[in-house]
């Protein structure tokens, strides 16, 4: 069953969809210099949360690009697993599972967190989930 709403996370020309119920919160980055080095960590009441910035090839960036103005916290309420920095955040309605086109098995690997594709609002969107993103980011933490 598909969650009817997907979170749209836009970075470096990539439209990434994650289940909206995996988004714990969205923070506006006031000063990108406050985010340093997994690019860094956020201090949350439940502990530190690693923060990542990705480029269009899903390679980790070593610093926060100035155009990345949002930090999307991914996990469960009370247990944020990681955060992704991005340029824009939105929501996309998905009505049927048939809207997703699964990647073929030969295209899937731990080095690729994308499970399927969809074409919405005249844009190609890459679909993932929290477990695949955690494995990709090599966090080794269960959601």
> In this predicted model, what pLDDT tens digit does every residue of 3-25 receive, in sequence order?
578 999 999 999 999 999 999 98
Nearest residue to 60 (alpha-carbon basis) of 121, 4, 139, 115 = 139
CB neighbour class for 29 (10 Å; exposed up to 12, middle 13-18, buried from 19): middle
What is the DSSP annotation of 14-37?
EEEEEEGGGEEEEEE-S-GGGS--
> In this predicted model, what pLDDT tens digit does every residue of 60-97 receive, in sequence order?
888 888 898 898 989 887 788 888 999 999 999 887 77
Contact (Cβ atoms closer than 8 angstroms) between residue 60 and residue 109: no
Q: What pLDDT score was predicted for residue 2?
A: 52
Q: What pLDDT score was predicted for residue 92?
A: 92
142 confidence band (pLDDT: 50, 70, 90): very low
Q: What pLDDT score was predicted for residue 141?
A: 38
Q: Quote the percentage of the chain above a pLDDT of 90.
A: 31
136 confidence band (pLDDT: 50, 70, 90): confident
With a cut of 90, say whether residue 38 has pLDDT above it.
no
Single pTM value for the model: 0.82
Average pLDDT of the chain, as a whole number: 80
Q: What is the DSSP letter of 107?
A: G
* Beta bridge partner(s), residue 72: 26, 84
């Amino acid at each position: 069953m598909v969650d009817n709403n997907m979170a749209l996370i836009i970075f470096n020309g990539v439209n990434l969809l994650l289940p909206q119920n995996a988004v714990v919160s969205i923070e506006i980055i006031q000063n990108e210099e406050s985010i340093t080095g997994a690019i860094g960590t956020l201090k949350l009441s439940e502990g530190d949360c690693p923060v990542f910035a990705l480029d269009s090839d899903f390679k980790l960036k070593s610093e926060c690009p100035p155009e990345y103005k949002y930090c999307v916290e991914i996990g469960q309420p009370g247990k944020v697993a990681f955060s992704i920095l991005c340029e824009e955040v939105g929501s996309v309605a998905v009505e049927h599972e048939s809207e997703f086109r699964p990647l073929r098995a030969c295209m899937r690997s731990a080095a690729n967190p994308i499970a399927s594709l969809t074409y919405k609002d005249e844009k190609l969107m890459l679909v993932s989930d929290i477990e695949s993103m955690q494995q990709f980011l090599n966090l080794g933490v269960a959601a």
